[in-house]
Protein backbone atom coordinates (compact mmCIF):
# COMPACT_ATOMS: atom_id res chain seq x y z
CA UNK A 1 0.00 0.00 0.00
CA UNK A 2 3.02 2.28 0.43
CA UNK A 3 3.40 2.55 -3.36
CA UNK A 4 -0.23 3.62 -3.77
CA UNK A 5 0.06 6.24 -1.03
CA UNK A 6 3.41 7.48 -2.40
CA UNK A 7 1.91 7.73 -5.89
CA UNK A 8 -1.08 9.70 -4.63
CA UNK A 9 1.22 12.08 -2.74
CA UNK A 10 3.54 12.66 -5.73
CA UNK A 11 0.75 12.90 -8.32
CA UNK A 12 -1.53 15.17 -6.33
CA UNK A 13 1.36 17.11 -4.81
CA UNK A 14 2.36 18.08 -8.34
CA UNK A 15 -1.21 18.95 -9.28
CA UNK A 16 -1.87 20.89 -6.07
CA UNK A 17 1.29 22.91 -6.63
CA UNK A 18 0.00 23.84 -10.08
CA UNK A 19 -3.43 24.79 -8.73
CA UNK A 20 -1.92 26.94 -5.98
CA UNK A 21 1.04 28.50 -7.82
CA UNK A 22 1.09 32.26 -8.22
CA UNK A 23 0.15 33.59 -11.63
CA UNK A 24 1.33 37.12 -10.83
CA UNK A 25 3.93 38.57 -13.19
CA UNK A 26 7.38 38.07 -11.71
CA UNK A 27 6.14 35.42 -9.27
CA UNK A 28 4.87 32.79 -11.71
CA UNK A 29 7.41 29.97 -11.75
CA UNK A 30 6.18 28.81 -15.14
CA UNK A 31 7.02 32.20 -16.63
CA UNK A 32 10.38 32.38 -14.81
CA UNK A 33 11.75 29.01 -15.92
CA UNK A 34 9.84 28.85 -19.21
CA UNK A 35 6.81 26.92 -20.34
CA UNK A 36 8.78 23.97 -21.79
CA UNK A 37 10.97 23.25 -18.74
CA UNK A 38 8.03 23.75 -16.38
CA UNK A 39 5.79 21.36 -18.32
CA UNK A 40 8.65 18.87 -18.65
CA UNK A 41 9.23 18.76 -14.88
CA UNK A 42 5.49 18.72 -14.22
CA UNK A 43 5.00 15.84 -16.68
CA UNK A 44 7.87 13.76 -15.28
CA UNK A 45 6.65 14.16 -11.69
CA UNK A 46 3.06 13.40 -12.72
CA UNK A 47 4.09 10.29 -14.66
CA UNK A 48 6.17 9.01 -11.73
CA UNK A 49 3.20 9.56 -9.41
CA UNK A 50 0.79 7.93 -11.84
CA UNK A 51 3.11 4.95 -12.30
CA UNK A 52 3.31 4.50 -8.52
CA UNK A 53 -0.49 4.74 -8.29
CA UNK A 54 -1.00 2.07 -10.95
CA UNK A 55 1.62 -0.26 -9.48
CA UNK A 56 0.51 0.39 -5.90
CA UNK A 57 -3.16 -0.19 -6.67
CA UNK A 58 -2.41 -3.54 -8.28
CA UNK A 59 0.03 -4.57 -5.54
CA UNK A 60 -2.44 -3.71 -2.76
CA UNK A 61 -5.17 -6.00 -4.12
CA UNK A 62 -7.14 -7.58 -2.61
CA UNK A 63 -8.06 -4.92 -0.10
CA UNK A 64 -10.38 -4.88 2.86
CA UNK A 65 -13.99 -4.03 2.05
CA UNK A 66 -15.21 -0.84 3.73
CA UNK A 67 -18.74 -0.96 2.32
CA UNK A 68 -20.65 -3.32 0.08
CA UNK A 69 -21.34 -1.48 -3.18
CA UNK A 70 -24.96 -1.81 -4.29
CA UNK A 71 -25.69 -3.85 -7.41
CA UNK A 72 -27.23 -0.80 -9.06
CA UNK A 73 -23.95 1.04 -8.46
CA UNK A 74 -22.25 -1.01 -11.16
CA UNK A 75 -25.01 -0.17 -13.64
CA UNK A 76 -24.88 3.52 -12.73
CA UNK A 77 -21.10 3.42 -13.13
CA UNK A 78 -21.45 1.98 -16.65
CA UNK A 79 -23.69 4.89 -17.64
CA UNK A 80 -21.50 7.50 -15.95
CA UNK A 81 -18.36 6.19 -17.68
CA UNK A 82 -19.88 6.93 -21.08
CA UNK A 83 -20.49 10.53 -20.00
CA UNK A 84 -17.01 10.76 -18.48
CA UNK A 85 -15.24 9.53 -21.61
CA UNK A 86 -17.17 11.87 -23.89
CA UNK A 87 -16.23 14.78 -21.61
CA UNK A 88 -12.59 13.64 -21.54
CA UNK A 89 -12.43 13.51 -25.33
CA UNK A 90 -14.17 16.90 -25.58
CA UNK A 91 -11.50 18.40 -23.33
CA UNK A 92 -8.82 17.47 -25.88
CA UNK A 93 -10.59 18.58 -29.07
CA UNK A 94 -11.38 22.03 -30.45
CA UNK A 95 -14.32 23.61 -28.67
CA UNK A 96 -17.85 22.43 -29.22
CA UNK A 97 -20.97 22.98 -27.16
CA UNK A 98 -19.94 20.16 -24.81
CA UNK A 99 -16.65 21.86 -23.98
CA UNK A 100 -18.24 25.30 -23.66
CA UNK A 101 -21.10 24.06 -21.46
CA UNK A 102 -18.90 21.90 -19.21
CA UNK A 103 -16.44 24.84 -18.81
CA UNK A 104 -13.69 22.50 -17.58
CA UNK A 105 -14.60 19.17 -19.21
CA UNK A 106 -11.53 17.26 -18.00
CA UNK A 107 -12.21 18.14 -14.37
CA UNK A 108 -15.87 17.24 -14.82
CA UNK A 109 -14.85 13.95 -16.48
CA UNK A 110 -12.63 13.11 -13.50
CA UNK A 111 -15.45 13.93 -11.05
CA UNK A 112 -17.94 11.75 -12.94
CA UNK A 113 -15.37 8.91 -13.29
CA UNK A 114 -14.46 8.97 -9.59
CA UNK A 115 -18.06 9.25 -8.38
CA UNK A 116 -19.16 6.39 -10.63
CA UNK A 117 -16.38 4.16 -9.38
CA UNK A 118 -17.25 4.96 -5.76
CA UNK A 119 -20.77 3.70 -6.48
CA UNK A 120 -19.34 0.42 -7.79
CA UNK A 121 -16.38 -0.23 -5.45
CA UNK A 122 -16.19 -0.34 -1.68
CA UNK A 123 -12.65 -1.58 -1.04
CA UNK A 124 -10.19 0.53 0.95
CA UNK A 125 -7.79 1.03 -1.96
CA UNK A 126 -10.66 2.03 -4.27
CA UNK A 127 -11.83 4.58 -1.71
CA UNK A 128 -8.32 5.98 -1.39
CA UNK A 129 -7.94 6.25 -5.15
CA UNK A 130 -11.34 7.56 -6.19
CA UNK A 131 -11.90 9.91 -3.24
CA UNK A 132 -8.46 11.44 -3.93
CA UNK A 133 -9.30 12.09 -7.57
CA UNK A 134 -12.78 13.38 -6.76
CA UNK A 135 -11.50 15.71 -4.03
CA UNK A 136 -8.74 17.05 -6.27
CA UNK A 137 -11.12 17.69 -9.19
CA UNK A 138 -13.51 19.61 -6.92
CA UNK A 139 -10.60 21.59 -5.44
CA UNK A 140 -9.08 22.36 -8.87
CA UNK A 141 -12.44 23.62 -10.17
CA UNK A 142 -12.84 25.89 -7.13
CA UNK A 143 -9.32 27.26 -7.65
CA UNK A 144 -9.95 27.83 -11.37
CA UNK A 145 -13.12 29.75 -10.54
CA UNK A 146 -11.24 31.87 -7.98
CA UNK A 147 -8.66 32.74 -10.64
CA UNK A 148 -11.50 33.90 -12.90
CA UNK A 149 -11.03 30.96 -15.29
CA UNK A 150 -14.61 30.37 -16.39
CA UNK A 151 -13.68 27.91 -19.12
CA UNK A 152 -13.85 28.27 -22.87
CA UNK A 153 -15.85 31.26 -24.08
CA UNK A 154 -15.05 31.48 -27.81
CA UNK A 155 -16.76 30.16 -30.92
CA UNK A 156 -17.87 26.52 -31.01
CA UNK A 157 -18.19 23.83 -33.65
CA UNK A 158 -20.89 21.16 -33.69
CA UNK A 159 -18.33 19.01 -35.53
CA UNK A 160 -16.21 18.94 -32.37
CA UNK A 161 -19.23 17.71 -30.42
CA UNK A 162 -19.89 14.96 -32.96
CA UNK A 163 -16.23 13.89 -32.81
CA UNK A 164 -16.30 13.96 -29.00
CA UNK A 165 -19.33 11.68 -28.95
CA UNK A 166 -18.07 9.29 -31.66
CA UNK A 167 -14.58 8.94 -30.17
CA UNK A 168 -15.94 8.83 -26.60
CA UNK A 169 -18.37 6.02 -27.47
CA UNK A 170 -15.61 4.10 -29.28
CA UNK A 171 -13.25 4.39 -26.31
CA UNK A 172 -16.10 3.44 -23.96
CA UNK A 173 -16.89 0.30 -25.96
CA UNK A 174 -13.20 -0.58 -26.05
CA UNK A 175 -12.99 -0.31 -22.27
CA UNK A 176 -16.19 -2.25 -21.66
CA UNK A 177 -15.28 -5.08 -24.02
CA UNK A 178 -11.58 -5.59 -23.30
CA UNK A 179 -9.39 -2.61 -22.29
CA UNK A 180 -10.53 -2.40 -18.64
CA UNK A 181 -9.67 -6.05 -18.08
CA UNK A 182 -6.31 -5.73 -19.84
CA UNK A 183 -5.25 -2.49 -18.13
CA UNK A 184 -6.92 -2.83 -14.73
CA UNK A 185 -7.25 -6.59 -14.42
CA UNK A 186 -10.99 -6.51 -13.76
CA UNK A 187 -13.57 -7.26 -16.45
CA UNK A 188 -16.38 -4.73 -16.74
CA UNK A 189 -18.89 -7.39 -17.70
CA UNK A 190 -18.30 -10.71 -15.97
Q: Give the Cα separation of 76 and 116 in Å (integer).
A: 7
pLDDT for res 183: 85
Average pLDDT over every residue of 4-33:
88
Q: Are 137 and 79 in contact (CB under 8 A)?
A: no
pLDDT at 6 over 80: yes
Q: In 3-state terms, what secondary structure has residue 42?
A: helix
Q: Are 173 and 161 in contact (CB under 8 A)?
A: no
Nearest to 112 by CA among 80, 75, 89: 80
Question: Residue length, the chain?
Answer: 190
Longest Cα–Cα distance of the chain, Å, equals: 55
Average pLDDT over every residue of 120-139:
96
Q: Are 63 and 125 in contact (CB under 8 A)?
A: yes
pTM above 0.85, yes or no: yes
Cα 24 → chain centroid: 27
Q: Give the Cα separation of 64 and 104 in Å (integer).
A: 34
Percent with pLDDT over 70 in the chain: 100
Q: Are 7 and 31 in contact (CB under 8 A)?
A: no
pLDDT for res 111: 98
Nearest to 18 by CA among 48, 38, 44, 32: 38
All residues at 6 or more sequence positions from 164 whose CB lies less than 8 Å from its CB, including other chains: 86, 87, 89, 90, 93, 96, 98, 99
Amino acid sequence: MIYLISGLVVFFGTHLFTSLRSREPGKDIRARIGFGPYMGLYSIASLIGFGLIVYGYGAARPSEVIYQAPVWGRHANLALMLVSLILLVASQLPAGWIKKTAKHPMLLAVKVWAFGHLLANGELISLMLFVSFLAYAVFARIMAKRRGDTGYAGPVSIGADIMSIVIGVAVYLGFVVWLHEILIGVPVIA
